[in-house]
Structure 1
Amino acid sequence: MYELAGICGLDIVLAEVGKLVFGAGINGTEPAVRLKEEMREVLLHPAAPGPEELYYMYRDIYREADKELIGARGLRYDITVIKPGLIGGEYIKTAGHYHPEKGKSGVTYPEIYEVVHGTAYYLLQELVPGEEKVSRAVFV
């Protein structure tokens, strides 16, 4: 078990790989589960053996006392728990996504990433507006 409160500020425990336990007064739901089958098109070796469940997405976590404050600002706090391991020599990873433009502002919805426990690398990509072509990529 690993206490996450000292890092994320919420009473949450990583009880076993992929499973979070939420303390009293913390809104936490059952996670959405990303399956290996759903990741086939982004895996280097999709036929290689690996776990069926790759990662768990816990969405909209908050202190019950802060619900209105967070909602009024249009914020949401999510935690993704990625299983350790390899599939065909490649580390388990997330599928990734692109954020849509906010109205006609020319700006996409922002997202802040943090590593609560362990080590992670991020590949951030920017698309050419109106196209599905990467104009810039950053590896962090």
Structure 2
Amino acid sequence: MIDLEPTSGLPLSLDDADPALPLRLAGGLQPGRRIARSLAELRPALADPQADGPDPAYWMYNGVTHFSAADDRGVYHWRYDLTVLPPGRVGEEYLRTVGHYHPLLSGRSAAWPEVYEVLHGAALFLLQRVDDPLSPPGEGQVEEFIVLRAKAGQKALLPPNYGHWTVNTGAAPLVVCNWIAADFESDYAPVLAARGPAGYVKATPDGPGLAANLRYAHLPAELGHAEPLDAPELGLETGRPIFQALLDRPSVWRWVCDPELAPVDLRSAIRITRTDPFPT
């Protein structure tokens, strides 16, 4: 049994002796809507849809809790989710989520942001910005692609207008939580049309490596490698679980529901450590 309370601040544990990797919730905490994402559901977004891999591919616990607050600028609704990805691969590709984009806020040019926290294991977050998420993959331009690495206790802020995927390249189960606005539904259609991100994380003799998804006709010239940074102005601090941080100071977290209320640039929570040519 893996105790997740030190990183989450909640009475959570993961039963790693059970192949279903169930989360154990105590203290009256409810699992929300538990979704087992089957391998069949993941296949349309994979490099090789016929390859074998773990089934279910991963588990989501959506709406473990909801929280609302109001001030003179508006009313804010947040949702707290948990995701568990087992170790393993589907063919050569490391196990990951289907991925999705967030819609634009009404009347805005910015989409909803999101923030993740790694509770166990180590994660790769793939962030992809395109000129038009709704354009066919053969027509749209991938303007930026970032691989953001985060380990247990670190927070990963996903800025507006980036599609994103969570990848487990480790030997241990990966458990992440997230705060997200409760006012929208994620858009999976562009991801499925392109069969996943512009870059697939695959096994190589030297470890995990990125392979281009050639269904995208216009790939970026560079690949950015990034790490998460503390951003106290946004409520993101090492050693402080995001669950309690939001409940203690909801006014600091209004940016999750309205990025225009962020006191600093949301990209300030990400540092590009190096760039490489994008694989061809």
Shorter-normalised TM range? 0.7 to 0.9
Give me the whole-angstrom Cα distance separating, in 2, the residues matched to 1:111 and 1:84: 24
2:53 to 50, 54, 65: 50
- Contact 1:125–1:136 (CA under 8 A) maintained in structure 2: yes
Contact 1:101 1:108 in 2 (8 A): yes
Matching of residue 138 in structure 1 with residue 146 in structure 2: yes
Q: Secondary structure at the match of 1:37?
A: helix
TM-superposed CA distance for 1:45, in Å, is 2.0
More strand by share: 2
**Which letter does structure 1 place at the counterpart of 2:84?**
V
Percent sequence identity over aligned pairs: 35
Structure 1 residues 107, 42: CA separation in 2 closer, same or farther (over 3 Å shift)?
A: same
Inter-CA distance 28–44: structure 2 relative to 1 (3 Å threshold) = same
Summarize the Cα distance change of 1:104–1:80 in structure 2 as closer, same or farther, 3 Å threshold. same
SS in 2 for 1:124: strand
Stretches of structure 1 lacking an aligned partner (at least 5 in a row): none
Picking from 60, 68, 72, the partner of 1:71 is 68
- Per the normalisation by structure 1, the TM-score is 0.86
Deviation per residue, 1:46-90 (Å, 9 max, x gap): 21222220000101123xxxx5xx133311111110111111121
Greater displacement, 44-53 / 72-81: 44-53
Q: Name which one, 1 or 2, has greater alpha-carbon Rg.
A: 2
1:111 is displaced (CA, Å) by 0.4
1:129 and 1:42 map into 2 onto residues whose CA distance is: 19
Question: Partner of 2:27 in structure 1?
Answer: 24
1:123 aligns with 2:126: yes
Give the secondary structure class of the aligned counterpart of 1:121: strand
Q: Counterpart in 1 of 2:256? A: none
TM-score normalised according to structure 2 size: 0.45
RMSD: 1.7
Distance 1:106 1:130 in 2: 13
Runs of 4+ in 1 over 4 A off after TM superposition: none
Where does residue 37 of structure 1 map in the other structure? 40
In the alignment, is the contact (CA less than 8 A) between 1:11 and 1:23 conserved in 2? yes
Q: Tell me the distance in 2 between the aligned counterparts of 1:10 and 1:61.
A: 11
2:110 aligned residue (107, 110, 117): 107
Q: Aligned-pair distance for 1:25?
A: 2.5
Residue correspondences, number = 134
The SS at the match of 2:117 is: coil
CA shift for structure 1 position 22: 0.7
2:98 equivalent to 1:98: no
Unaligned runs of 5+ in 2: 70-75, 149-280
Distance in 1, matches of 2:121 and 2:111, equals 28
The amino acid that maps onto 1:26 is L
